[in-house]
Amino acid sequence: MKPTTKTMSRRAFVGVSAAALASLALGGCAQTPVEEPTPAPEPEPEPQTPANDVAPETTTEPTLAPAQGAAVIAVFSRTGNTLALAEAIQTRTNFDLVRIEPAAPFPDDYDEMLTVGQRERDEDARPALADSVSSLADYDTVYLGFPVWWGHIPQIIRTLADRGDLAGKTIAPFCTSGSSSISTSVADLRELCPDATVLEGLTVTESGLSTRDTRAEEWLASLGL
């Protein structure tokens, strides 16, 4: 699978934030308040706490290698940034990679995309998944990637959760963004999937995307999975 990396410019993100602010001013947003219009400073890397300190079960049975299908990388990426980060993770883990794609592709035009994204958020929409999006049922751990949209997880991640794909899983979230941290999205996931274990997330900003290999490596090591 070939990534199509088209990096959204900081100017574009400022446009996002301005559009979000305008929407709020019009009283159209019934959701959690949108991010400040001025992008926050480059977020510090998330605290690297050991995420899963459950001791491996000991057994007298012959020890088998971990099942190949136990973990999966599931990624939604509209313009390729988060996909590039997902591929850096895949290179280091060799896990399967599943693309989370909408049934109706998002517009290429940036302004149209803002309109669609804002409407989905205002309506707490659940954009339909493409039929090709494989079930994650066979996996215990999901490395879940998405861009930060309006400070939060994109609505299509909520569709995936509604389908039951994240229930009871260990979720290791990672994102790309213009500047926002993943922290609000981690909170979204914990609320959305109360029976899942949501680990510390990884944020890589667009301007820091060239460091994704190192960032992915450090984050994977910190998870202790």
Ligand X SMILES: Cc1cc2nc3c(=O)[nH]c(=O)nc-3n(C[C@H](O)[C@H](O)[C@H](O)COP(=O)(O)O)c2cc1C
Q: Which residues bind ligand X (CB under 6 A)?
A: 8, 13, 16, 35, 39, 77-83, 113-114, 117, 147-151, 176-180, 206
- Least CB distance to ligand X at residue 204 (A): 8
Q: CB 127 → ligand X: shortest distance, Å?
A: 12
Q: Which one, 185 or 225, has the nearer CB to ligand X?
A: 185
Which of 156/196 has CB closer to ligand X? Answer: 156
115 versus 197: smaller Cβ distance to ligand X: 115
Helices 155-162 and 183-192 cross at an angle (nearest 10°) of 30
Q: Which is nearer to ligand X, 87 or 165 (CB)?
A: 87
The half-sphere exposure of 87 on its side-chain side, counting CA atoms within 13 A, is 13
- The closest alpha carbon to 51, from 202, 158, 213, 209, belongs to 202
Q: Report the nearest approach of ligand X to the CB of residue 62 (Å).
A: 42
Judged by beta carbon, residue 139 or residue 150, the one nearer ligand X is 150
CB of 146 to ligand X, least distance (A): 7
> Alpha-carbon Rg of the chain, whole angstroms?
17
**Residue 200 CB contacts under 8 Å (≥ 6 apart), including other chains:** 46, 47, 48, 49, 51, 186, 222, 223
Longest dimension (CA), the chain: 65
Distance between CA atoms of 98 and 28, rounded to whole angstroms?
A: 34
Return the number of the residue (114 or 193) whose C-beta is nearest ligand X: 114
How many Cβ atoms sit within 10 Å of the Cβ of residue 223?
18
User: Could you tell me the smallest distance in angstroms from the CB atom of residue 139 to ligand X?
Assistant: 21
Q: Count of CB atoms within 10 A of residue 18's CB?
A: 13
Q: Which two tokens stand for residue 143?
A: 């490395």
Question: What are the backbone angles phi and psi of residue 15, rounded to the nearest 5°?
Answer: -60, -40
CB 57, min distance to ligand X, A = 36
